[in-house]
Amino acid sequence: MDIINAILIIILVICAIAVERTKDLVSAIIIFSAYSLFMSVVWLLLKSPDVALTEAAIGAGVTSILFFAVISKTERFEK
Amino acid sequence: MKKIIIWILFIALFLILSIGIFDMPTSPTLDAPSYNETIHYYLENGVNETGAINIVTAVITDYRGFDTLGETIVLFAAIVAVSSVLRIPSKKNEEEAQKHE
Amino acid sequence: MNDTILKSITRIIVPFIQVYGVFIILHGHLSPGGGFSGGALIGTSLILFTLVFGVKKAKVKFSERVAEISGSAGIIIYVLVGIVGLVLAGSFLTNIEAGFPAGVAGTLMSAGMIPIIMIGIGIKVASTMITLFHTLVEEEVR
């Protein structure tokens, strides 16, 4: 169980760094959505299914769609 | 010079957060910091006082109901702010607004 | 978007998502979930409908008038339940002592005011999600 936790946390750190390094904002949002999915698995392993459900619905679903809507009004690439 | 300071701060923050992760409880243990007398009160009296068998819901809507009201009002404030800035007024509303001026 | 496969699959899948969201809201006091997750699910189903069929058709299903009414109704339900507690028992948001029926613990009709508050939060969250998305993607037509 500890090994699974460690792997998930390492994936979270990699995702967080990748979001910051990516210049293409659409890819950054997709990586951020993957981050939220892994985060919801971590919440499930910490035995809080309520937070996991909310994180999967809001973090992975609604937040990324709202970010896409904002990008469609501005620019796709970071300067 | 600026870059070196930034990197030192970053590494220090990273180390502190990593130490924090290893102190996180991976499974329910008796010596976790959040395990105090409040949780005993909720677990023993929660079902009798609220009638809800899901203790998380009992806490967020009954014992801490006022906090949840604040959370809902935050959502309301967000929607008011976004629509007052970004909303495109329909033609009918605009004509009415001009009539009042 | 003009894709037949997407349109037919969306027509089938949207009611199922909404029924699951309503299930999560109503069973908030029995199983994991509650107003926030269930409302987010219902909002996401309406966002999916908007993405596939376009803003104009979605505005027919969920117009600005409905958005205004439901956005305010969520908070009004919550505050009214709190005021009932204030009048009958002396403090804001009192549950069982204010006369809400306790019921048998573990059944759907139990826990006094908690299901009513959950319905209020669910309406508020769903209307917030869908109104934010509609406001952001709306194009200026002159």
Looking at the DSSP assignment, which residues form a beta bridge with residue A77?
A24
Per-residue pLDDT tens for C93-109?
A: 777 777 777 777 777 77
Residue C115 resides in a domain: yes
CB C138 within 8 A of CB B88: yes
Is the Cβ pair B69, C96 closer than 8 Å?
A: no
Q: How many domains does chain C have?
A: 1
> What is the ipTM score, two decimals?
0.78
Per-residue pLDDT tens for C23-70?
A: 988 888 888 888 888 888 888 898 888 888 888 888 888 888 888 888
Structure-token pair, residue B78: 């967000």
Is the model's pLDDT at B30 over the cut of 80?
A: no
CB C126 within 8 A of CB C74: no
**Residue C53, domain extent:** 4-137
Residue C142 resides in a domain: no
Q: Return d(Cα A60, Cα A37) in angstroms, integer.
A: 6
Q: Which chains touch B (3 or more CB pairs under 8 A)?
A: A, C
Nearest CA in chain C to A58: C40
Q: Which chains touch A (3 or more CB pairs under 8 A)?
A: B, C
**Per-residue pLDDT, B3:** 92
- Residues of chain B positioned with their CB less than 8 A from the CB of C124: 72, 75-76
Is the Cβ pair B50, C96 closer than 8 Å?
A: yes
Cα B68 to its chain centre, rounded Å, is 9
Residue C112 resides in a domain: yes
- Taking the Cβ of residue B92 and every Cβ of chain C, the question of whether any pair is shorter than 8 Å is answered with no
Element (H, E) at C111: none
**Per-residue pLDDT, C142:** 44
Counting residues of chain A whose pLDDT is more than 70, the rounded percentage is 100
Residue C106 resides in a domain: yes
Average model confidence (pLDDT) across chain B: 81
CB C130 within 8 A of CB C43: yes
